[in-house]
Amino acid sequence: MARLSSLFDYHDNAFIFFNRGYVEDISDAFSELTEYTKEEILGFSTKEIIELLRINATMQDLEQNKPNESLYIFTKSYEAIETTILVKKLDDINHCIYIFTEKARVSDNLLFVEQLCHDNIRGVAVHSIPDLVLLKANQKYLDFQNPPFNHIENCIGKKFKERVKAFEGSKAEEVYHEIIRTGKSYYPNEYKIEYYQRGITYWNASLVPIIIGGTPKYIIDVGNEVTETVLNRRRLIESQRELESHKLLLESIVENEHDAIAVFNKDCEAIMLNAEARKLYPHFNTETTIKSFHKEFQFYDFNNNLISVENLPTRRAFNREKVRNEKILIKHPDWSQYTEINATLIFDDEDNLELVVVSHHNISDTIKNQEEIRNQQEQIINIEKERNYELVKNMEMKDEFLSLISHELRTPLTVITATLQTLELTCKNEMSDRTNRYLEKVKQNTNRLIKLINNLLDNTRVSSGHFKINKTNIDIIALNKKIIESILPFAEKKDIQLNLYTELASKVIGIDESLYERIILNLLSNAVKFTPGNEGKSIKVIISEIKKQEMIQIQVVDEGIGIPKDKMNLIFEKFGQVNNLFSRNQEGTGIGLSLVKMVVKQMSGEIMLDSNEGFGSTFTVILPAAKVDSVKENIIGQKTEERILQAAAIEFSDI
């Protein structure tokens, strides 16, 4: 009863009725004020109610509270309400009643803040003075709080220092206290806040104290994030610094470049000249325009044609022409320089010519060197030409001389031979053996002279193109048999076997027989000459047909000293001998094989050599086997035999 009558006294007020410290009843006005229903808070302890309403005080504080001292409570939807709280003990000591009297609502006091919060473009927070309890905050503000204080239920009604660990003793705390003390606004620019998720951020803020009825009540904190702006500005400064250092680097590279480099703007004014360019054009400065730039000089192309100023590479570059490695000669009254010019054009975004960079590469030394080399080469070629001319002349003279001498020598030699033959025929029996032996010596040496002279004459004939071939049809097998017969005595003298091998009984071909005899006799005389005697060695002549090609192949195979690989080509050259010193052991001139090669070639044939030093050599001659049309076969008779004998005697005269 007592309880009912007590409550009745307060039934218009917002109150909570506690029985033994737990909520037993609330008034409708309380529900209206806080948005909590009776069912929601029934049975809550006093402490739980203080927590629910986020009252910044303890139960004891409240009990001792003066009736008109303001405290903030927060509704279910987190709205801050300034109230007085009266704690009244009722008659029954177990009963107690908390009476809440609304004094003001933050939202009513700060209507303008509502819109700012609602827009959510800037972070907005309202703090109480002096406790800095968070009374209001929009989502934007919450987004930048460290968890768990980024949720309204975790941070509303909390003091600053409870929400932000680092606040106590910080510069920010000082700032807030200064605002409270002076009542003046504070506008920090780009202040740094480190957030849990985002790291460092920058803010422009307005911290404005709101004074109501002469009492400072709130600090409104409006923050505008400027992290991107600050970072962009820093990046810009950084890249400007980098650009600056790149620019310095480039400038020093360009300045020290060996080439002269000039940069012109679109008005043809030189805006930069490096050290070399200043050396090249000493009286120019960066105000000089291209027009006056060229006044003192004359320019020539490499053919010594004067280049008009309009046609100069640099000028043409201004007309957007490509200038790449253009070589010109610059002439100044005091000096001249061969230069290679390159121009690079730089355009702006709209394709307007902005800059022309021109480089001059001094190539005077290169040109001078090239000229010197060219002159030297020309001199060498001229000397060489003169030498060649003299050499050819000398050769011709030598050939003429040899031919003349040979001719002159041939006549007396023919007389000597004829005389010797007559002597042999007529007086052989009248002469003693001794005289005959001497006579034999005379004959042999006469033949050697004849061989030498014949070779020399034929050589000059072939060289001068006066060589004649008289082909007749003849049985080459029979001819070879005769040749071998004629030289058997020479081989026998050295105890060398000499045999003909062939599967052909006869083979008539069209050939110049005396030239053929010369070829075979030369090869055989060499074979005999270079095969050591009395060692049971043998020489083979092998004749075979190469039917497909209508050719005949004659091989002279010996078991003599052989020819080193590196000398195989040399011996076919005039006067070419394997080893002059060694060969001197054997008589010879070194013209035989060169003549053989020329003659074989004249006969449309080929000669090849295969040799194994120390084991012997094989000379292979291939000749056309076709017969000569409408000519009768030449039968080998007495005359041929005599000629072969004579030829063999001559060819073997130096053995």
Looking at beta carbons only, is 371 or 573 nearer to ligand ADP? 573
Q: Which one of residues 558, 600, 607, 650 is an interface residue with ligand ADP (CB under 6 A)? A: 558
Q: Which one of residues 110, 578, 649, 655 is an interface residue with ligand ADP (CB under 6 A)? A: 578
Q: Which one of residues 339, 406, 577, 640 is an interface residue with ligand ADP (CB under 6 A)? A: 577
Residue 184 sits at φ, ψ, to 5 deg, of -105, 150
Q: For residue 303, count other CB atoms closer than 10 A to its CB.
A: 5
Q: Which one of residues 101, 206, 589, 602 is an interface residue with ligand ADP (CB under 6 A)? A: 589
Residue 640's H or E segment, with its range, is helix 638-651
In the complex, least distance from residue 569 CB atom to ligand ADP, rounded to whole angstroms: 11
In the complex, least distance from residue 593 CB atom to ligand ADP, rounded to whole angstroms: 3
Query: Per-residue contact track with ligand ADP, 610 to 649, x per CB under 6 A?
Result: -------x--------------------------------
Name which of 322, 386, 330, 320 is nearest 351 in CA terms: 320
Q: For residue 291, count other CB atoms closer than 10 A to its CB.
A: 11
* Dihedral sign computed on CA atoms, order 578, 579, 582, 586: positive
- Asked if 157 interacts with ligand ADP (CB under 6 A), we say no
In the complex, least distance from residue 444 CB atom to ligand ADP, rounded to whole angstroms: 16
Please list, in sequence order, all residues whose beta carbon lies within 8 angstroms of the beta carbon of residue 407, skipping any fewer than 6 positions away: 457
Looking at beta carbons only, is 330 or 591 nearer to ligand ADP? 591
Q: How far is CA 31 from the centre of its chain?
A: 85
Q: For residue 585, count other CB atoms closer than 10 A to its CB.
A: 9
Q: Which stretch binds ligand ADP (CB under 6 A): 94-102, 154-162, 213-221, 569-577?
A: 569-577
Looking at beta carbons only, is 339 or 577 nearer to ligand ADP? 577
Q: Which one of residues 123, 157, 560, 605 is an interface residue with ligand ADP (CB under 6 A)? A: 560
Footprint (CB under 6 A) of ligand ADP, residues 525-554: 526-527, 530
Q: Which stretch binds ligand ADP (CB under 6 A): 254-262, 354-362, 457-465, 560-568?
A: 560-568
In the complex, least distance from residue 512 CB atom to ligand ADP, rounded to whole angstroms: 19
* Dihedral sign computed on CA atoms, order 410, 415, 416, 418: positive
Footprint (CB under 6 A) of ligand ADP, residues 246-305: none
Under rule CB under 6 A, how many of the chain's residues touch ligand ADP? 21
* CB 473, CB 628: distance < 8 Å: yes
In the complex, least distance from residue 372 CB atom to ligand ADP, rounded to whole angstroms: 46
Q: Which one of residues 583, 602, 620, 646 is an interface residue with ligand ADP (CB under 6 A)? A: 583
- Asked if 655 interacts with ligand ADP (CB under 6 A), we say no
Q: Which stretch binds ligand ADP (CB under 6 A): 106-114, 222-230, 462-470, 522-530?
A: 522-530
Q: What is the b/e burial string over 388-417, where b = at least 16 CB atoms within 10 angstroms of the residue's CB?
A: eeeeeeeeeeebeeebeebeebbeebeebb
260-265 and 353-362 beta bridge pairing: antiparallel
Helices 592-602 and 513-529, axial angle in degrees (round to 10): 150
Looking at beta carbons only, is 188 or 576 nearer to ligand ADP? 576
Distance, in Å, from the CA atom of 301 to the CA atom of 164, rounded to the nearest integer, reads 81
Q: Which one of residues 588, 621, 648, 652 is an interface residue with ligand ADP (CB under 6 A)? A: 588
* CB 84, CB 70: distance < 8 Å: yes
Looking at beta carbons only, is 217 or 537 nearer to ligand ADP? 537
- Asked if 571 interacts with ligand ADP (CB under 6 A), we say yes
- The 8-class DSSP code of residue 65 comes to -
- The 8-class DSSP code of residue 159 comes to B
Looking at beta carbons only, is 590 or 624 nearer to ligand ADP? 590
538-546 and 497-502 beta bridge pairing: parallel
Residue 503's H or E segment, with its range, is none
Distance, in Å, from the CA atom of 56 to the CA atom of 72, rounded to the nearest integer, reads 7
Distance, in Å, from the CA atom of 481 to the CA atom of 498, rounded to the nearest integer, reads 11
Distance, in Å, from the CA atom of 295 to the CA atom of 283, rounded to the nearest integer, reads 12
Longest dimension (CA), the chain: 200
In the complex, least distance from residue 370 CB atom to ligand ADP, rounded to whole angstroms: 48
Residue with tokens 């007020």: 13
Footprint (CB under 6 A) of ligand ADP, residues 349-368: none
In the complex, least distance from residue 521 CB atom to ligand ADP, rounded to whole angstroms: 11
Upper half-sphere CA count for residue 267 (Cβ side, 13 Å): 6
Q: Which one of residues 592, 599, 621, 640 is an interface residue with ligand ADP (CB under 6 A)? A: 592
Distance, in Å, from the CA atom of 612 to the CA atom of 565, rounded to the nearest integer, reads 8
- Asked if 313 interacts with ligand ADP (CB under 6 A), we say no
Query: Per-residue contact track with ligand ADP, 482 to 521, x per CB under 6 A?
Result: ----------------------------------------
Q: For residue 187, count other CB atoms closer than 10 A to its CB.
A: 10
Residue 317's H or E segment, with its range, is helix 313-318
In the complex, least distance from residue 338 CB atom to ligand ADP, rounded to whole angstroms: 57
Looking at beta carbons only, is 509 or 515 nearer to ligand ADP? 515
Q: Which stretch binds ligand ADP (CB under 6 A): 88-96, 301-309, 510-518, 571-579?
A: 571-579
Looking at beta carbons only, is 136 or 529 nearer to ligand ADP? 529
DSSP assignment of 523-534:
HHHHHHHTS-SS
Residues engaged in binding ligand ADP (CB under 6 A): 522, 526-527, 530, 558, 560-561, 563, 571, 576-578, 583, 588-594, 617
